[in-house]
Amino acid sequence: AKILCLNGPNLNLLGSREPTTYGRETLASIGSTLSASAEAAGHELQMVQSNAEHALIDAIHQAGADGVAYILFNPAAFTHTSIALRDALLAVSIPFIEVHLSNVHARESFRAHSYFSDIAEGVISGLGAQGYSLALAAALHRLDGPP
Ligand code: DQA
């Protein structure tokens, strides 16, 4: 099946961006790990990042048109602001897991609210880049059942 890993603003700077909060691993490196795992399980993972809300909305619409089965989504700062991205996910009704590298509950209070958590299948926050791998493992489990 097709799996989309969708990433919001400033995540293109992973590796150099606030490394004590977000770690040293780049998004490209996370993407190659995820793609390899998805491929090994007989699936196909596409990595998308944009700093623009409309581009993320378009990517979700495209995922609907392409029959994407599962989305791993780190909406980044749009987590806390975007009703439009929430509505896009509801519109395509593709199951998704919300991922954050940092523990959003251990930071500024404005990061504690998410426009996605109540409609996500699950939320992973605070486990760094490993959170993406854990989210993929959960998605594969839901798509295929236990290995
Ligand atoms: C983030 C957490 C958000 O609050 C922040 O705006 C980000 C990244 C994370 O992965 O920890 O850009 O989604």
In angstroms, the CA 109 to CA 117 distance is 16
User: How many domains does one find in the chain?
Assistant: 1
Which candidate, 103, 88, 95, places its Cα nearest to that of 70? 95
Q: Is 113 annotated as a binding residue?
A: no
Q: Does 62 have pLDDT greater than 70?
A: yes
**How far is the centre of ligand 1, averaged over its atoms, from the C-alpha of 102 (Å)?**
7
* pLDDT at res. 18: 95
- What whole-number percentage of the chain has pLDDT above 90? 98
* pLDDT at res. 34: 98
pTM of the predicted model over 0.95: yes
- Reported ipTM: 0.99
**How far is the centre of ligand 1, averaged over its atoms, from the C-alpha of 52 (Å)?**
15
Q: What CATH number corresponds to the domain at position 105? A: 3.40.50.9100
* pLDDT at res. 105: 98
Residue type, 70: Y
The position carrying tokens 């523990």 is: 103
pLDDT in tens, 11-35: 999 999 999 999 999 999 999 999 9
135 burial class (0-12, 13-18, 19+ CB within 10 angstroms)? buried
Catalytic residue flag (residue 113): no
Q: Does 136 have pLDDT greater than 90?
A: yes
As for ligand 1, residues whose beta carbon falls within 6 Å of it are 10, 74, 76-77, 79, 100-102, 104, 111
Q: Does 147 have pLDDT greater than 70?
A: no
* pLDDT at res. 22: 97
Domain range holding 25? 2-144
Q: Does 146 have pLDDT greater than 90?
A: no
Beta strands in the chain (DSSP E): 2-7, 44-49, 70-74, 96-100, 122-125
Read off φ and ψ for residue 25, nearest 5 degrees: -80, 140
pLDDT in tens, 74-127: 999 999 999 999 999 999 999 999 999 999 999 999 999 999 999 999 999 999
Q: Is 87 annotated as a binding residue?
A: yes
* Secondary structure string (H, E, C) spanning 58-92: HHHHHHHHHCCCEEEEECHHHHHCCHHHHHHHHHH
